[in-house]
Amino acid sequence: MSEAFEIEPDLVAALRSCRHLAVLTGAGISAESGIPTFREALTGVWSEYDPEELATPEGFARNPDRVWGWYRSRRTRIAEAEPNPGHRALAELERRVPSMTLVTQNIDGLHLRAGHRDVIELHGNIGRVRCSVEGTVVERFEDGDRAPGCPTCGAPLRPDVIWFGELLPRAALERAWAAALSADLFLSIGTSNIVEPAASLPWAAAQSGARVVVINTTSEGQRRGPGIRHLVGPAGEVLPALVRAAWPRGSTPEAPGWRQA
Binding-site ranges for ligand APR (CB under 6 A): 26-28, 31-32, 37-40, 44, 105, 123, 190-192, 194-195, 216-218, 234-235
CA-based nearest residue to 85, from 114, 62, 126: 114
Question: For the purposes of burial, counting CB atoms within 10 Å of the CB of 234, is it exposed (0-12), middle (13-18) or buried (19 or more)?
Answer: buried
To the nearest whole angstrom, how small is the minimum distance from the Cβ of residue 36 to ligand APR? 8
Q: Quick one: 187 or 210, whose CB is closer to ligand APR?
A: 187
To the query of whether residue 111 is one of the catalytic residues in this protein, the response is no
Contact 236, 32 (CB under 8 A): yes
CA-based nearest residue to 34, from 76, 96, 93: 76
To the nearest whole angstrom, how small is the minimum distance from the Cβ of residue 157 to ligand APR? 19
To the nearest whole angstrom, how small is the minimum distance from the Cβ of residue 40 to ligand APR? 6
CA-based nearest residue to 108, from 33, 44, 56, 41: 33
Residue nearest to ligand APR (CB): 28
Residue type, 48: E
Which one is catalytic: 87, 111, 116, 123?
123
To the nearest whole angstrom, how small is the minimum distance from the Cβ of residue 229 to ligand APR? 15
Q: Residue 139: CB partners within 8 Å, gap ≥ 6? A: none
Tell me which residues are annotated as active site.
123
